[in-house]
Amino acid sequence: MSSNINLIDSFQEFKEFKNIDRPTVITVLEEVFRSMIRKRFGTDENVDVIVNPDNGDLEIWRTRVVMENGFSEDDDLEIELSDVHQYDPDLEVGDEYIEQITLESFGRRAILAARQTLVSKILELEKDEVFKKYKDREGELVIGEVYQIWKKEILVLDEDGNELILPKTEQIPADYFKKGDSIRAVVFKVDMMNSNPKIIISRTAPEFLQRLFELEVPEIFDGLITIKKIVREPGERAKVAVESYDDRIDPVGACVGMKGSRIHGIVRELRNENIDVINYTSNNILYITRALSPARISSIKIDDENKTAAVYLKPDQVSLAIGRGGHNIKLAGKLTGYEIDVYRENDEVEEDVDIEEFADEIDSWIIDELKRVGLDTAKSVLSLTEAELVRRTDLEEDTIQEILRILEAEFE
């Protein structure tokens, strides 16, 4: 029998190493056989284990020093002259005797034990590699195939056959899948449970919507447009605040696409979830106004310290601001970070007046300053206190007092 033992033939389980690089496998193989050598000979210091990474061949070479007869103190490291002459009569005292150890010489029991150890180590390594791979991919988009459907979760297999779990809580309410369907989701959470990697994927996380936008909108992928924040009620409504770093690019238009071409694919993937794309601004009044789209706001009074906003609307706009099931106002609050309260304007209250209408009484640069902070109507100015107006604008206190006098006179 050949002294070269082909490991790939001997250990059929390792013909395919899905997640482990070959050098790592070779290192594990070598360590397993060194452990066998230590058990048999007491040491592996004088043993070379050579594994061929191309075909899996194994060679074990043991080196011992030739000693005078009767002077050998350690048979594992030394061999007496009379003994070595049975194998090589030309060797003399002080020479090194190198012999090849065959795998068969360890015995069937030791080989079976090594095989079991090898199986265990490879499986452990493979699990560790899967865990590391997906832990580094949290928040990334993955595509898999539905393998099994249970009441509370779906088992999905990736292209390498790794198991991914899509819980019911991470599915869009209108999601419906059958075995064999292709599925897209993001890696939500990766844990080790009982030495097994548990990979949870999600279709309800805001990151899932963000990855879909990155796929559909090249300007986001290229970094010309950034997504500032995403809030969702999965399957119902989502609000996405976007900002452009290039004044020539309209971030909302780029995300929606010509006739909605870019956003339609995302909406279909999300089971017809309504998506409001909003132009981000640091002006809180304007930001809240945009966040409550499609409702048209009459005026807003905000309290920055307590993060609250009182929004006044015409009666026919109240339901739009709140939205079906309260989703619109709830998401607007999450997006802006303000607790928003909606108030119905009294029908008897006069119509608001655009700040531009006061150009005859108020200097144009003052009007521009008011508009810069989102105060583009008379009532939006009057809804704030004098101190708040001074704080928000670069206008002097006496200028603010004169503005208020002019605007209040309009509604007397």
Residue-wise pLDDT for 192-207, tens only, equals 988 899 999 999 999 9
Burial class (CB in 10 A: 0-12, 13-18, 19+), 368: exposed
* Cβ proximity of 148 and 167 under 8 Å: no
Enumerate helices (H) and strands (E) in the chain, giving the number of each. Answer: 15, 16
Alpha-carbon span 103 to 333, nearest angstrom: 71
- pLDDT for 346 equals 62
* Mean pLDDT, residues 216-237 taken together: 94
* Cβ proximity of 332 and 340 under 8 Å: yes
Pick one of 3.30.70.2190, 2.40.50.140, 3.40.50.360, 3.30.450.20 as the CATH number of 142-204: 2.40.50.140
The fold for domain 5-126 equals: N Utilization Substance Protein A; Chain:P; domain 4 (3.30.1480)
Alpha-carbon span 367 to 58, nearest angstrom: 86
- Report, at the CATH architecture level, how domain 281-346 is classified: 2-Layer Sandwich (3.30)
- pLDDT for 14 equals 53
* Cβ proximity of 391 and 303 under 8 Å: no
Q: pLDDT digit string (tens) for 62-117?
A: 999 989 888 877 777 888 888 888 888 888 888 998 988 887 888 888 878 878 88
Domain ranges for the chain: 5-126, 142-204, 281-346, 355-410
Determine how many CB atoms are found less than 10 A away from the CB of residue 120: 11
- pLDDT for 392 equals 84
* Cβ proximity of 164 and 191 under 8 Å: no
Burial class (CB in 10 A: 0-12, 13-18, 19+), 63: middle
DSSP 95: P
Position 16 pLDDT exceeds 90: no
- Express as a percent the part of the chain with pLDDT over 70: 92
Three-state DSSP at 279 gives: strand
Three-state DSSP at 246 gives: coil
Least confident of 113-122, 257-266, 313-322: 113-122
Residues 6+ apart with CB under 8 A from 20: 122, 125, 126, 129
- pLDDT for 17 equals 53
- pLDDT for 165 equals 97
Total residue count of the chain as it appears in this document:
412
Which is it for strands 339-344 and 308-313: parallel, antiparallel or unpaired?
parallel
Between helix 315-322 and helix 327-336 the angle, nearest 10°, is 70
Alpha-carbon span 265 to 272, nearest angstrom: 10
Closest C-alpha among 249, 133, 252 to residue 199 = 133
* Residue 54 banded pLDDT, cuts 50, 70, 90: low
Token duo for residue 143: 């595509």
Q: Is the dihedral of CA 19, 22, 28, 32 positive or negative?
A: positive
Token duo for residue 9: 């033939």
Position 8 pLDDT exceeds 50: no
Q: pLDDT digit string (tens) for 280-293?
A: 999 999 999 999 98
* Mean pLDDT, residues 6-26 taken together: 56
* Mean pLDDT, residues 161-174 taken together: 95
Position 181 pLDDT exceeds 80: yes
* Cβ proximity of 224 and 203 under 8 Å: no
| pLDDT, mean over the chain | 87
Burial class (CB in 10 A: 0-12, 13-18, 19+), 403: buried
